[in-house]
């Protein structure tokens, strides 16, 4: 399998049911093959609790919340400070 440097086309989740609610835990990413016939997967975690594995295209608000999280934890400020220090 070749290394992929582009952004993943899909996200991978482990979905478990807790009473009335479903809990979606991100566990990895997927890249669609160029011919549209399959995917390459990178899993950061393997569910051991019988969870259903779901592959979905990312939503725009999910990407926006990732950016907000980077601001919240100071990652963006650190990157700007590092760039300005050079």
Indicate if the pLDDT at residue 49 is higher than 90.
no
- What is the model's pLDDT at position 48? 87
Local confidence band at 2 (pLDDT 50, 70, 90 cut-offs)? low
In a 3-state reduction of DSSP, which class is residue 43? strand
Instruction: Give, in order, the Cα–Cα distances in Å from 80 to each of 64, 75, 77.
Output: 19, 9, 5
The domain locations on the chain are: 10-85
* pTM given for the model: 0.63
Q: Convert the pLDDT of each residue in 6-48 to its tens digit.
A: 899 999 999 999 889 999 999 999 999 999 999 999 999 999 8
Dist CA 81 CA 85 (whole Å): 6
Least confidently predicted of 26-35, 53-62, 63-72: 63-72
Local structure of 76: helix, strand or coil: helix
């Amino acid at each position: 399998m070749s290394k992929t440097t582009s952004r993943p086309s899909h996200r991978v989740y482990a979905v478990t049911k807790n009473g009335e609610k479903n809990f979606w835990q991100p566990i990895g990413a997927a890249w669609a093959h160029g011919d549209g016939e399959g995917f390459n997967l990178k899993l950061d975690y393997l569910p051991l609790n019988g969870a259903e594995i779901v592959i979905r295209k990312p939503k725009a608000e999910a990407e926006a919340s990732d950016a907000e999280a980077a601001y919240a934890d100071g990652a963006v400020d650190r990157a700007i400070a590092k760039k300005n220090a050079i």
